[in-house]
Amino acid sequence: MKKIVVLISGSGSNLEAIAKACQTGNIPATIELVISNQPNVKGLDRAKKFHLMSKVIEHQQYNSREEFDQALLDQILPIEPDLVILAGFMRILSSNFTDTLSGKLINIHPSLLPDYPGLNTHKQAIENGDLMHGVSVHYVNSELDGGPIITQGALKIDPSQSEAKLINRIHKIEHAVYPKVIADIAKGYITLKGDQVKFESDSNFGPNHMEFFNV
């Protein structure tokens, strides 16, 4: 069984989707630790619900980004995880952190990258009159939301819908796509070689893969 560490900052809905997939065996891995940079968030309650070990490391308690990231690494590296998953982790990570975990660190971002790195992606997509919106799962490097893309999930924007409704639809895509990617990585079907994502024939995904969702 592969070992996973999950980093969160908020509600932890992706954490729950991943934990369920591990529990059912769809992901052949165990979540060894959940780390939140914020106390008293719902994601910590979700970790408890699945009997997962969790720890709070508040970034506000550190003098620099590098000191905080080193505190994260001090907790993560002894576990020797096969994969470190950013699941709504709202911190920009230092190059030392991303370099140390290169090839083991993945993120899900709520836009069709390279469009809209950073925050407020849903608002930007609506205000710009985009026809499509979605999510991107990617390996993490030192560039903000810039690592090699594994897959994307897309939907058609309904201009009559609110931003809150669009966010809810995007979450449904996240919960469908992220566990499947993690499962393929855990099975060795997806790997990172240099800056290129490699897919085995058994993978659910492939180069330039995008799936359209009617949610």
Minimal CA–CA distance to 202: which of 182, 188, 186?
188
Minimal CA–CA distance to 186: which of 96, 68, 82?
82
Distance CA 123, CA 179 (A): 26
List CB contacts of 58: < 8 A, sequence separation 6 or more. 37, 38, 39
Residues carrying an active site annotation: 109
Q: What is the DSSP letter of 167?
A: H
Kindly report whether the peptide bond that precedes residue 159 is cis, defined as omega within 30 degrees of 0.
no
In this structure, what token pair is assigned to residue 33? 């630790």
HEC string for 33-97: EEEECCCCCHHHHHHHHCCCCEEECCHHHCCCHHHHHHHHHHHHHHHCCCEEEECCCCCCCCHHH
